[in-house]
Structure 1
Amino acid sequence: MNLPVIDSNASAKPVAAQPADPRRHLLDVSLDELKDWLVSNGQPGFRAKQIVHWVFQRRVSNFSQMSDLPKALREKLDEAFRIWVTGEAALVTSSDGTDKLLVRLPDGGEVECVLLRDGVRRSICVSSQVGCAMGCVFCASGLDGVDRNLTMGEILEQMLRLQARLDEGERLSHIVMMGMGEPLANLNNVLGALDVARSKDGLAISPRRITISTVGLPPAIDRLARAEVPYNLAVSLHAPNDELRDQLVPVNRKIGVQAVLDAADRYFESCGRRLTFEYVLLGGLNDSDDEARQLASLLRKRTAMLNVIPYNPVEGLPYKTPTKRAIDNFRSILENGGVNVQFRQRKGGEIDAACGQLRRNRDSIKTQNIGTQHGS
């Protein structure tokens, strides 16, 4: 066994590991659970909504700021719960106003979330897992696989941290579950977090302004349909046939393009919300005229929007942004083929805005390090 070398002249004593904070994460506690806790501590249950209002509407991160609660209750709450359990590891801001935040979790894992400013819209993109198991070959999020699912509270805390970056008078308008991870592989916690986000006691965001992105997991899409909440569904297609999609999205080998499209159709039938299909355009790989024609054949009869996203290069990966000519040809074929298509403007390009890039590259880019800031 190799023992560590100890400097005999050093006077500092070893620092003992800090025990884990035993307090519960308030954002993992349902409203009913909070009411039960209050009643068991001799408080009226209605105070639960007051507490939730302070956190989501008044944007506080400390129980001591909840001025309409009795001081003794605030102290008890602080003994039992923490509002925020994560830290902010890094922040980068683009010239177009996009903020990207790297959030450090209690166990040391890190996830990314993004605030996008576009006119009066204030949209956020939130992660659902630490890493990703779907294996999309061009995506930085899944290069190291998946570590774990995020809890409901960890998903909500990303939303609150991004909300805290808004100026007074601004409010979040849209949520996109399109950060790190596959949301439908963590559906229980994603739906729990979105239930709070759409609640009038939470962020009060209409489900019609909430989008859940997926590579296409048919059983989970069907389960989402059974939830009967009209969220927008965005399916990351990336290829018009199984041969190419198997290469780009390895999980497709167990599913198939047609099964994904059939599940998306069932979701549309259940809620009537127009489908969105995402297609990352990779130079020289899935951007040919033939692939555009195949894609048009798949989508022309569907009530759907196709978002085409020219690839955002990731350091260490061989994929490249398509040429302007390839982009123009692809667009023309789709439009002439009767597809409702838009080419998404790349926002935050200079800050590694594609999910997973900041986590991988933060040591090699200039970031504004804002330390570890824990709430109570």
Structure 2
Amino acid sequence: MKASTTDPLDTEHIRADFPILQREFDGTQLVYLDNAATSQTPEPVIDTIAEYYRTYNANVHRGLHQLSQEASIAYEEAHDRVAEFIGASGGREEIVFTKNTTESMNLVAYAWGLAELGPEDEVVTTQMEHHSSLVTWQQIGKKTGAEVKYIRIDEEGYLDMDHAKELITDDTAMVSVAHVSNTLGTINPVSELAELAHDHGAYIFVDGAQSVPHQPVDVEAIDADFFAFSGHKMCGPTGIGVLYGKRELLESMQPYLYGGSMVRKVTYEETTFEELPWKFEAGTPVIGQGIALAAACDYLDEIGLERIQRHEHELAEYAYDRLTEFEDITVYGPPGDDRVGLVSFNLDSVHAHDLSSILNDHAVAIRAGDHCTQPLHDTLDTAASARASFYLYNTRKEIDALIEGIDDARALFA
């Protein structure tokens, strides 16, 4: 039976679904705090993809035999399940399966951007964007002549919305924004930005890679024109991403990948393309991954995203409070009670890479580097940072293990 949204998470029960969390290194149990990069995969999702390969592995939309029919139905229904998960009432026609968020971003940038942008247009994004957004629009701007502008962040890591209102004008064609910063943990006001974009006749693309796994998302309530996320950050497999687009926009766009499956009729002179979403899924698609992604949606819904969000919020606040106890630790981003379940920080006189290596000796896995946000780190005046990121199976005890490892690193470099 599905738990009430007010019930706390039973982390011990949840952790039993993730056998990798039982791994030990030199007798010390793994503490996995790198969930913003990739989450772990529970047994029900592993079982789903294994069942596909064991019992009905076949290509979709190409065969009349039983295996192909079963695979096709499961693959199509996976689109419907994902649409339901993010509140897309248009169903499968508004859900394109890609290999990750980055490909989803590039699909829109090339299929829409190259056709619609010109030297008179502007793309507005933010200083906290992941490279998948920043680099993509930067390069499309170079190809089309469109100017790319960046909304500032303030000292606490929030978007400067007054600056946003200055930048988003009638010359703006696209606003591209991360729903949640993968470095700062900031939750951006995407609904407000969508309204601002639409008031000026612009579209909005929301990068939901760090939001969909951790909180309820309704793309229609946000009024996003495009929205993207990845399966491997939400208990799903690698190699599967999602692009949501409003139907009328996807219908107006031409594909940017061509080949099998996405065509209806081909002659030596002309080609007509399949209906949505298949015209954007050229070649053999991500069949097993897509079916397993639907299982990941089931898994998260069964536990309850409201409960997951509350659990992670408590962990983030606890980690923030523990880290800010020390004068030699700099924490980036908003206060602990106003961020998602990740904390980026630096320990004085210890490079983030060295800290990560020492923590690895304690079986604590974190991320160290620029987190694919080099320009943001330049703004923060640091080359790199350490990042601990939490998910539904993490505990306060694991954050305590992180602090103990930091204490050892401090002593080693004293």
TM above 0.5, yes or no, is no
TM range (shorter): under 0.3
Q: TM-score, normalised by structure 2?
A: 0.24
Query: RCO (CA 8 Å, sep 6+): is it higher in 1 or 2?
Result: 2
